[in-house]
Amino acid sequence: MSLIEELLNAQDGGVASSLANKFGLEEDQVRSAIQALAPAVAGGIQRNTREEGGMESLVGALVQGSHDRYLDHPDLALQDEGINEGNAILGHIFGSREVSREVASRAATTSGVDSGTLKRMLPAVATMAMGALSKCAGGGGPLESGGAGGVLGELFSGGGPMNALTSLLDSDGDGSMIDDIFEGLFKR
């Protein structure tokens, strides 16, 4: 399952409903918005994993954060704490507000949703994307108890929803994230 599917299918489609209610959109507009925004968020996370310390930073965020709550309860991503956390995620993965604005502007051309709405929606999408990644990486179980070995073991053992994390972390596109993770963790 892709990251987009994880977001759209969470809570039996509750994410689309929550975002539609918050931003005064139809659910199909929200789905188009997520389909346009999520790849940019995933791309930003992927770029960060390629930088020195980036993989450790992502694993640390998945271990220490409780991002899965935003996917379990999409309305939390729309409250001040979720928006603030989403803005912090965007700042980390994009580096500046200008990049976030550009992402929203480009997404507006493909989604049919205006860029102003997408700019306001982007932090919620970022927190929910981290929630989906947290769940894909085992959020709550092996990540908390197994240290780096447990994290890597969980990352390598998955199927099903793990495919979202696998394809996100497969930097060289060879179908395996193992070489990319080891390169990111042990490249000095």
pLDDT at 150: 37
Amino acid identity for residue 95 in this structure: G
Task: Yes or no: say if 167 and 173 are a contact pair by the CB < 8 Å rule.
Answer: no
Spell out the domain ranges in the chain: 3-186
The rounded distance, in Å, linking the Cα atoms of 54 and 51 is 5
Average pLDDT, the chain: 76
Phi and psi for 83 in degrees, rounded to 5? -65, -45
Residue in the structure block whose two tokens are 């092996």: 142
How confident is the model over 85-129, as pLDDT tens digits? 999 999 988 888 889 999 999 999 999 999 999 999 999 999 998
pTM of the model: 0.73
Cβ-based neighbours of 178, under 8 Å, separated by 6 or more: 156
